[in-house]
A and B are shown apart, each in its own frame.
Chain A
């Protein structure tokens, strides 16, 4: 029984409990590793330990003789399996350099973890054991790890066929940028580094390929966010007839972008299924995933803002280096471009310049990770707003208010030429300040500063915006993305009054089954429990563009709304016919058509579904059945926004930084399910705090990943995270009739600058105005030491820290 929190009789807007939960709570869910097929063999990959090496030879003979081994192949052995390399669907410029990316490397390994051979055996341990005995003769080559070094003259090239390591340069200039910067009273310029992150969905990736050799048919089960995109792209990569390929995403244990790709392992398992004609399974080990699953971020930003002496912004200029890693995966080059239009944030500007250079290095490829391009933009904008505030002597809140775009509820064009759907940035900030107790915390901060307290308080503000609802297909075309941005939904009204919904979105924790049921229950007046939502199987849901970029509700949910409208339109015709009135004489509400002025003459949607099925008495020209499909191509993006405030306490003697208060007020437009929204916000903030304080993928100079397992890459546990206080404002989107904007990534986008701004604010009296993420105790402590010790009182009245000579003696966390 669904519980409706707010409004009885109405599901949309209520904190309905999730339909998805029972199987997940009882162990009955079916994740990829829970599935097996009789006769199934196991696949394991041999991966290069070198970041860059020529593959002289691959000797598979010893592995082939290991117990249970059925086949061993090198990249060269499988060369004929591919009609093309793995796809990059977003060649962002006309002259972008896109290297061939074979699923199994043939000539060279270009990052540590690049697959160089594959083993097929009867059991999982046999496959893993045999993989260790494949003898690969590598000739190590020079390695490029650092982006700036990679771009230097004479740098070792990741791909010999290109003249250098620059994949592309993408640029957007609007207005008189040079002149605005030349004329500005104040120019602030800073450099930020966005660390490389490892997504760490708790379920590792995995694939099962089930061939039907007699029919030349294949079913590929994959822990993926994108079964539909996978079907098209794998058909192309393998030269398989697409109508013979079915892709299924079973229960998927989180994605965050890491399962939004077309991976070597998926292509290889499909190729091996075709070659061997038997079912095969591969499950990633976590440490393997650290190398072979895409990473996120890894961007250097030179950020500049031009303003008048009061801090009123005139122009922004951002220049990025974005690490592609060794290859271009599905949307690798496009990730920075997803943020390219947002480097002015929620602030007004007349001149705008954004340039991004995509750089090849000998590292794991980067791609979409929760937020994808927009956390990078937001971080740069919100950091530089604080820098500007310090420069002109204003409070961070004041500088933001001065520059906010004034509230608007009709779409308005901004400097980049984009049209923001609606926004009220003051409203969310006001609410957040109130919840936070901003003035009191500022007073407390002042008190501690004056007292020279070792524990200093810092306050960080982040008034973010993101661009969601990917995407109008024509805009994608202009950005050179090769696919469309539409989404499909089908509503099938059964004669028994029950309803099946088929969606092209592919949830992996977001609760679409619940939210989609809410939408349909309200629009068709059907009970919430009588609705089944099907997804994630290309045989059941043939049309779809899948789930990423906070698009599912604002594109897929809206498609569902339009499908429901079509159902109602057809049902109206049938109802009018049966009630012997004209369609105009019918009123529709909550699933019931009633005759105006004679409300006892009525028909419900389930009644009409039955008539449509018997087809005994349908109006002329009406087809039997009550089922409608709608494919929605959004006319614009959506632009969720909000205000996040963070208070940290920094121990100036140890560098320990603790979040003492975190308030978030998000505006994702109209809410379908506030409980699910709350969960998305919590999880998003946690991932952003993880980025700000804990996580960083570190490579050594040889391109070896030092943070190579979950035990030395710090995914925070409950003990490392605070409690969040959250609320919402609702400014309906003008992009779609539901007024929804999307919430999947907001927390991850908003929180890193809130945390880092707070940390820097705490240390401002020491003259510290910059610390890179993650703001670990080591890094904070080092910044304090570099600033001359932990004396907080700017006049140096009280010295609490050690002098530089003894600095290392009281280093905290030594040996960790």
Chain B
């Protein structure tokens, strides 16, 4: 067992973990943050995407010990003061989800995408979300949701 200390959604945690424990299972099973989903065993689907130090990462590809000292954000930490994040709002308003299983990962990947890219075409968004699979939506309304949120997040009113 190894001791790690990290901040998740603004809360500091000290924990003992097995060296082989994956970050996604640490979050889900030890911290009971079950919003981050697991959809594959080959790092393909992106359902497990979270932010580590502000960058999107597939939490099934990281060991919990690798997150020692990191600042982690999961879908549960995105809303603030009871207000949905613009991406959560946009996915709702643009019908960017159906079963919702890919959605937390899709949204977390989009947070990074919007933060690190200026104005994006639909094509840019499609390329940017290449690592996240959705079987329900055909992606069209996901692209629309991200576009909507990006507009809102960049508008002068919100900065």
Stretch at the interface among B51-59, B62-70, B73-81, B151-159: B73-81
- Report if A37 contacts B (CB, 8 A): no
Considering only CB atoms, which chain A residue lies closest to B144 in the complex? A723
Q: Are A25 and B135 in contact (CB under 8 A)?
A: no
Q: Give the number of A-B contacts (CB < 8 Å).
A: 180
Bound state CA distance, A682 and B144, in angstroms? 12
Return A42 CB to nearest CB of chain B, in Å: 11
Considering only CB atoms, which chain B residue lies closest to A30 in the complex? B34
- Report if A711 contacts B (CB, 8 A): yes
- Report if B125 contacts A (CB, 8 A): yes
Return A336 CB to nearest CB of chain B, in Å: 24
Tell me how many residues of A have a C-beta within 8 Å of chain B.
Answer: 56
Return A148 CB to nearest CB of chain B, in Å: 32
Q: A24-B100, A684-B138 are in contact. Are A719 and B127 (CB under 8 A)?
A: yes
Considering the complex, which residues of chain A in the window 697-721 have a beta carbon less than 8 Å from any beta carbon of chain B? 709-711, 715, 717-719, 721
Q: Are B135 and A717 in contact (CB under 8 A)?
A: no
Considering the complex, which residues of chain A in the window 1-49 have a beta carbon less than 8 Å from any beta carbon of chain B? 17-18, 20-31, 33-34
Q: Are B135 and A200 in contact (CB under 8 A)?
A: yes
Q: Are B97 and A24 in contact (CB under 8 A)?
A: yes
- Report if A287 contacts B (CB, 8 A): yes
Interface residues on B, range: 35 or more
- Report if A685 contacts B (CB, 8 A): yes
Q: Per-residue CB proximity of B119-157 to A under 8 Å, as 1/0?
A: 000100111011111111111111100000000000000
Considering the complex, which residues of chain A in the window 285-323 have a beta carbon less than 8 Å from any beta carbon of chain B? 285-287
- Report if A204 contacts B (CB, 8 A): yes
Bound state CA distance, A33 and B42, in angstroms? 18
- Report if B16 contacts A (CB, 8 A): no
Q: Are A682 and B140 in contact (CB under 8 A)?
A: yes
The listed residue with most B CB atoms (<10 A of its CB), out of A254, A687, A717, is: A717
Q: Are A21 and B101 in contact (CB under 8 A)?
A: no
Q: Are B92 and A202 in contact (CB under 8 A)?
A: no
Q: Are A202 and B126 in contact (CB under 8 A)?
A: no
Q: Are B88 and A203 in contact (CB under 8 A)?
A: no
Bound state CA distance, A679 and B98, in angstroms? 8
Return B134 CB to nearest CB of chain A, in Å: 7
Q: A683-B135, A711-B42, A715-B135 are in contact. Are A20 and B100 (CB under 8 A)?
A: yes
- Report if A354 contacts B (CB, 8 A): no
Q: Are A25 and B103 in contact (CB under 8 A)?
A: yes
Q: Are B74 and A27 in contact (CB under 8 A)?
A: yes
Give 26 A-B contacts (CB < 8 Å), ordered by A residue: A18-B92, A25-B75, A25-B88, A25-B100, A26-B84, A27-B74, A27-B76, A28-B76, A34-B34, A201-B99, A202-B39, A202-B133, A204-B39, A254-B98, A511-B98, A679-B137, A682-B137, A683-B98, A683-B136, A684-B138, A709-B42, A710-B41, A710-B44, A715-B44, A717-B130, A718-B127
Interface residues of A (CB under 8 A from B): 17-18, 20-31, 33-34, 124-125, 200-204, 251-254, 256, 285-287, 508-511, 675-676, 678-679, 682-687, 709-711, 715, 717-719, 721, 723-724, 747
Q: Which 10 A-B pairs have the closest CB atoms?
A: A27-B35, A24-B100, A253-B101, A509-B99, A686-B138, A682-B138, A509-B98, A34-B34, A27-B75, A718-B139
